[in-house]
A and B are shown apart, each in its own frame.
Chain A
Amino acid sequence: MGDSKTLDNFFDVVKRRFNGNKTEEDDRETVKCPRCTSVILLERYEELHRVCPNCNYHGRLSCPERIEITVDKDSFKELDSTMISCDPIEFPEYPEKQQELREKTGLKDAVVTGTALIKGIPAVIGIMDSRYMMGSMGSVVGEKITRAFEYATENGLPVILFTASGGARMQEGIVSLMQMAKTSGAVKLHSDAGGLYIAVMTDPTTGGVTASFASLGDIIIAEPKVLIGFAGRRVIESTIRQRLPEDFQLAEFMQEHGFVDMIVDRKKMRNTLAHLLELHGYSVKEG
């Protein structure tokens, strides 16, 4: 498979390891692709915006990384930037865990929403970040996504959501489950008002997020080889008492079964989104 630079560097590392004189950097510098298990130099992986050069698996991006490669420079204006969650079911250590994550990730919760331009076309954008409690949906994710759709409905704007989530946030109990209804309701009103909603499923899109707003896009795009499903692999395996095939619940599997419109490479995402917006009559903002 064709990424010679990565391979050469990789062989250098392997050689040093084999000779017993591996350096500390050798351990730090590589990442293992979760799909094909090939070892990639971190530097190269980052250059490729976290796409595996061997199998084209599209790895997880942080929210700032996604904004940078998707929208026009300096056009992103965040909505509801100060919202943080309470502790609705008084779950042990939940507030402390959140505080820790806020400091570690610089995020307030698992989604960032705002307005931005894509090749000059205005849109409401939402980006989920799996680093924050596996992108799980609690009160803040639910409220911010709902408000994003309501804002888009009021202002006649399209919505683009990059989904990444393990599902409902267990630590907020039933309140999390209700966020599925809240967000889906807002999506429905935006849709009934004629608004375009493009869902971009990224790694992973599962559980209550798949079973609510992620699956309600007018157009559903997925990145290559990402995990998309409702039930977790472990749960299904324990129900059926057998191992699932490797490609089960990947984007390609979901497309084959009719639940994904198109699989788009990260490097083509921005152009694809701009093209789709333009096809729906959304145009470049004047001035």
Chain B
Amino acid sequence: MDERKTAWERLTLVHTKGRPTIRDYIPLIFDGFTEMHGDRLYGDDSAITGGIAKLNGTPVTVIAQVKGRDINENKACNFAMPLPEGYRKALRLARQAEKFHRPVICFIDTPGAYAGIEAEERGQGEAIAKNIAEFMTLRTPIISIVLGEGGSGGALALGVCDELAMLENAEYSVVSPRGFASILWKDASREEEACNIMKITAEDMVRLGVAEAIIKEPLGGAHNDLDKISENIKEYLSEKIPEKCKKDIDELLKARYTKFRKIGEFTE
């Protein structure tokens, strides 16, 4: 692993044009992905995709945030910033997976949940809260992988899982570094400074108990070798999914609760 990169350099890399998105990965990791649309309540959100596919012959439910590879694709998927109906679609598909005993694989790649009038009107806060609570007791294994950016509650809504993996250059944060600088210093231009003090890299996540694994990227970043990075992701999933599926579901749920229960630093 290239240890010398700063958090800012990694964020820049994640923002590089050509960084693979979930649309690139799905055909290389899974077979026969069949997309499902809509939350059955309001609409279909283009920033979150979901459906059923096979991983090494076993049906799994895939839920993912969708980034675009260029400006047109990004406009079409709202720059991977989901609306409440995206989170509600995710929950619907997760419950469907639970019913049919399929493991759930979530791919996180968002700067954050969409901040806008319609998002507030349709209950962005409620949608995220509901996912977090329901995923905690979903009676099927859940693995989440952060592909690029994991920003705020908008990422956590797909991040309550049995095990979290980070791509080597991916970052996970309480809010985007830009938002952080804007909130704390009222100066969004101090983004780089914020980025480097926030502790948001894959290694930080493992150290803080947020992530369990780091998936190695090809030299220079995921965009340099799509086949290789896809293979690495698939290898990780091929090991973890059967491992989690073998576990007793009540034990798995207890471990899932404990994973989050123990995060926090305080004295009494």
Contacts from A to B (Cβ < 8 Å): 80, 82-89, 91-92, 138-140, 142-143, 146, 168, 170-182, 184-189, 191-192, 207-208, 210-216, 229-232, 235-236, 239-240, 244, 248-249, 257-259
Q: Could you say which residues of chain B place their CB within 8 Å of the CB of A86?
A: 265-267
Question: Of B113, B119, B128, B208, which one neighbours A174 at CB under 8 angstroms?
Answer: B208
A116 vs B267: C-alpha distance in the bound complex, in angstroms?
A: 25
CB neighbors of A among B172-217 (8 A): 172-175, 179-180, 182-184, 197-200, 204-205, 208, 210
Interface string of B159-182 (1 = CB under 8 A from A): 110000000000011110001101
A220 vs B175: C-alpha distance in the bound complex, in angstroms?
A: 26
Q: Is B251 an interface residue (CB 8 A)?
A: no
Q: Could you say which residues of chain B place their CB within 8 Å of the CB of A181?
A: 132, 136, 156, 159-160, 260, 263
Contact A174 B204 (CB under 8 A): yes
A177 vs B263: C-alpha distance in the bound complex, in angstroms?
A: 10
Q: Is B51 an interface residue (CB 8 A)?
A: no
CB neighbors of A among B118-175 (8 A): 119-126, 128-130, 132-134, 136-137, 152-153, 156-157, 159-160, 172-175
Q: Whose C-beta in chain B lies nearest to the C-beta of A138?
A: B264
Question: Of A175, A215, A235, which one neighbours B265 at CB under 8 angstroms?
Answer: A175
Q: Could you say which residues of chain A place their CB within 8 Å of the CB of B183?
A: 170
Contact B265 A139 (CB under 8 A): yes
Contact A231 B153 (CB under 8 A): no
Q: Could you say which residues of chain B place their CB within 8 Å of the CB of A185?
A: 132-133, 136-137, 160, 257, 260-261
Interface string of B90-133 (1 = CB under 8 A from A): 00000000000000000000000101110111111110111011
Contact B120 A85 (CB under 8 A): no
Q: Could you say which residues of chain A place their CB within 8 Å of the CB of B136?
A: 181, 184-185, 188
Q: Could you say which residues of chain A place their CB within 8 Å of the CB of B122?
A: 257
Q: Determine how close the nearest CB of chain A comes to the CB of B205; give it in whole angstroms.
A: 7
Q: Determine how close the nearest CB of chain B comes to the CB of A27; give it in whole angstroms.
A: 27
Contact B264 A240 (CB under 8 A): no
Contact A211 B125 (CB under 8 A): yes
Q: Can you list 13 residue pairs at the A/B interface with Cβ under 8 Å?
A: A82-B268, A85-B266, A88-B264, A89-B198, A140-B266, A168-B174, A174-B174, A174-B205, A178-B263, A188-B136, A191-B133, A216-B129, A231-B124
Contact B264 A182 (CB under 8 A): yes
Q: Could you say which residues of chain B place their CB within 8 Å of the CB of A182?
A: 260-261, 263-264
Given contacts A173-B198, A185-B160, 7 further A-B contacts (CB under 8 A): A83-B267, A85-B265, A91-B197, A177-B173, A184-B133, A214-B125, A259-B125
Contact B120 A84 (CB under 8 A): no
Chain A CB within 10 Å — which of B174, B175, B205, B257 has the most? Answer: B174
Known: A84-B267, A168-B174. A212 touches B116 (CB 8 A): no
Q: Could you say which residues of chain B place their CB within 8 Å of the CB of A213?
A: 129
Contact B174 A177 (CB under 8 A): yes
Contact A230 B119 (CB under 8 A): yes
Question: Of B116, B156, B197, which one neighbours A180 at CB under 8 angstroms?
Answer: B156
